[in-house]
Amino acid sequence: MQLVQNELDVQKKTLVCTLLVINVHLRDVIGELLGQAVDTVTNFEWIKQLRFYMDAELLEVAIRQTGYSFCYSYEYLGNGQRLVMTPLTDKVYLTMTCALRLHFGCSISGPAGTGKTETVKDFAKSIGIQCLVFNC
């Protein structure tokens, strides 16, 4: 509490805002899981979440979602702001994970100014891979 009441430089303020956005989203997801009485790791409501596991033997971070597992890529993309995560953001993440699983790219369509490009870049930042966005 005291941290956010003090004057912060730009990088620290961005970091604190990012952590707040992520933690609020996690609180909402956990509330939904509890509300739906998810009690097994095989429940789809749990499996569809983007989850991070530390593999102690390989000393790697594994990212799992819907039966697909891949290694965190450790691509540093800077300390930028994160988007507010909504249920639609989670669905887009799920779609992009499935595309990666099949070695495809992603082409999100929709009205201008709705955050499609930022969602793709935010997903890339979440899993630590370089993201190239082409506007054709």
CATH code of 118's domain: 1.20.58
Domain total in the chain: 1
Which tens digit of pLDDT belongs to each residue from 73-87?
888 877 777 778 888
**98 lies in some domain:** yes
pTM, full prediction: 0.80
Mean pLDDT for the stretch of residues 40-65: 91
For the cut 80, the answer to whether the pLDDT of residue 91 exceeds it is yes
Q: How far is CA 101 from CA 21, 98, 119, 125, in A?
A: 27, 5, 18, 17
**135 lies in some domain:** no
Q: How far is CA 130 from CA 29, 45, 120, in A?
A: 27, 28, 11
For the cut 80, the answer to whether the pLDDT of residue 135 exceeds it is no
pLDDT the model gives residue 94: 92
Q: Which domain holds residue 20?
A: 2-127
Mean pLDDT for the stretch of residues 90-110: 88
